[in-house]
């Protein structure tokens, strides 16, 4: 009897921390198998920093997605918003000769407005978020193509007209030549939203609405506004990712950010957030994003065919959500 209880506790504990355990296990596996010519290609500072940079874009999107999924909704438009904003910021700087600050402000507003639009349709027209954002995903792509004429806009920096302001290039730099700026932005944003979710009224409201919208409404919480704000923040965060993205690849274009919504949802799900809403944390999403990024990184280092990688990542998502869902049967 006693032993049985202990076994149960161990099982529960493992279940509770399984994403953290997975992160450590994958880290160890990566450290062991990625050795080339006597050098560990995985455990180098450069590689770890590359990994952080690689997860920062989808990680930033996943922050917003965590709030949306906690509400029991989903935002499929974020990848397209990345495309729209990357096109927009490139066009504004290269074609319209805007300075750094106005460009960034306009891009942020674009993302926020887009999210607000999603939120408005979801809450006021009472259409499911899945349908709304599936549709608005196409709208954003279409707008981006109209804006750029379908082609990508390469970024080149300089002070002369027709060149982008050099300040924007910071987004592609590394602090001290080591720590990527996007990774810093990601971690700062994550900390801010961890604080928002765990310490502020808005965080409480998100958990309450996601856990039981009727109870929240009857407790005087403005459910619609909470959802609207969450969608707005999701769009805003996607626009930040969009700007980082175009700085990283020195180009903005309507086809950028493809499937980013999938990676963001994956990070959220792997991080243990319930797709039904009400349960999950920002820290979980960080772990989820790192697991996903690490596997990506390891598979890349091992030179795995990119199509195989895609298949593997798809199965990973199913496996992780399955593991989260497994409950004691009785």
Which residues sit at the interface with another protein, rule CB under 8 A?
Answer: 5, 8, 199-201, 204-205, 207-208, 211-212, 214-222, 278-279, 328-330
Task: Please state, in angstroms and rounded to a whole number, the distance separating the CA atoms of residues 27 and 14.
Answer: 18
- Provide the greatest CA pair distance for the chain: 78
CB of residue 19 vs another protein: minimum separation in angstroms? 18
CB of residue 227 vs another protein: minimum separation in angstroms? 15
CB of residue 1 vs another protein: minimum separation in angstroms? 8
Work out the burial of residue 184: count CB atoms within 10 Å of its CB; fewer than 13 is exposed, 13-18 middle, 19 or more buried. middle
CB of residue 68 vs another protein: minimum separation in angstroms? 17
* Residue 36 DSSP SS3: strand
Burial 82-98 (b: 16+ CB within 10 A, else e): bbbbbbbbbbbbbeeeb
Residue 180 backbone zone (phi > 0: left; psi -120 to 50: alpha; other: beta): beta
Nearer to another protein, 58 or 205 (CB): 205
Nearer to another protein, 5 or 37 (CB): 5
Nearer to another protein, 124 or 199 (CB): 199
CB of residue 224 vs another protein: minimum separation in angstroms? 10
Nearer to another protein, 222 or 309 (CB): 222
**Alpha-carbon dihedral angle through residues 277, 118, 257, 291, given to the nearest 10 degrees:** -10
Nearer to another protein, 50 or 222 (CB): 222
* Residue 179 DSSP SS3: strand
Do 171 and 247 touch, CB atoms closer than 8 A?
yes
CB of residue 201 vs another protein: minimum separation in angstroms? 5
Nearer to another protein, 253 or 278 (CB): 278
Do 107 and 243 touch, CB atoms closer than 8 A?
yes
């Amino acid at each position: 009897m006693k032993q049985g209880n202990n076994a149960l506790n161990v099982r529960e504990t493992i279940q509770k921390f399984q994403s953290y355990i997975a992160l450590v296990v994958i880290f160890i596996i990566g450290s062991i198998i990625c050795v080339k010519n006597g050098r560990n290609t995985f455990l180098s500072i450069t590689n770890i920093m590359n990994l952080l940079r690689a997860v920062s874009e989808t990680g930033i999107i996943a922050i917003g997605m965590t709030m949306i999924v906690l509400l029991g909704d989903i935002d499929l438009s974020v990848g397209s918003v990345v495309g729209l904003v990357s096109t927009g910021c490139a066009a504004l700087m290269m074609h319209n000769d805007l300075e750094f600050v106005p460009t960034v402000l306009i891009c942020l507003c674009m993302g926020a407005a887009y999210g607000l639009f999603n939120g408005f349709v979801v809450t006021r027209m009472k259409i499911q978020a899945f349908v709304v954002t599936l549709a608005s995903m196409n709208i954003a792509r279409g707008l981006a193509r109209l804006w750029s004429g379908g082609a990508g806009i390469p970024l080149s920096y300089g002070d002369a007209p027709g060149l982008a302001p050099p300040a924007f290039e910071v987004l592609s730099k590394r602090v001290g030549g080591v720590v990527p700026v996007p990774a810093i932005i990601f971690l700062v944003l994550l900390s801010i939203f961890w604080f928002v979710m765990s310490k502020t009224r808005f965080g409480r409201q998100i958990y309450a609405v996601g856990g039981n919208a009727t109870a929240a409404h009857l407790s005087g919480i403005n459910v619609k506004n909470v959802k609207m704000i969450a969608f707005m923040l999701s769009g805003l965060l996607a626009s930040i990712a969009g700007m980082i993205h175009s700085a990283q690849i020195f180009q903005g274009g309507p086809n950028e950010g493809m499937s980013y919504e999938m990676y963001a949802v994956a990070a959220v799900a792997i991080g243990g957030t319930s797709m039904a809403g009400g349960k999950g944390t920002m820290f979980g999403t960080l772990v989820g994003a790192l697991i996903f990024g690490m596997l990506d990184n390891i598979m890349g280092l091992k030179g795995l065919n990119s199509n195989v990688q895609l298949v593997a990542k798809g199965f990973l998502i199913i496996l992780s959500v399955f593991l989260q869902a497994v409950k004691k049967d009785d």
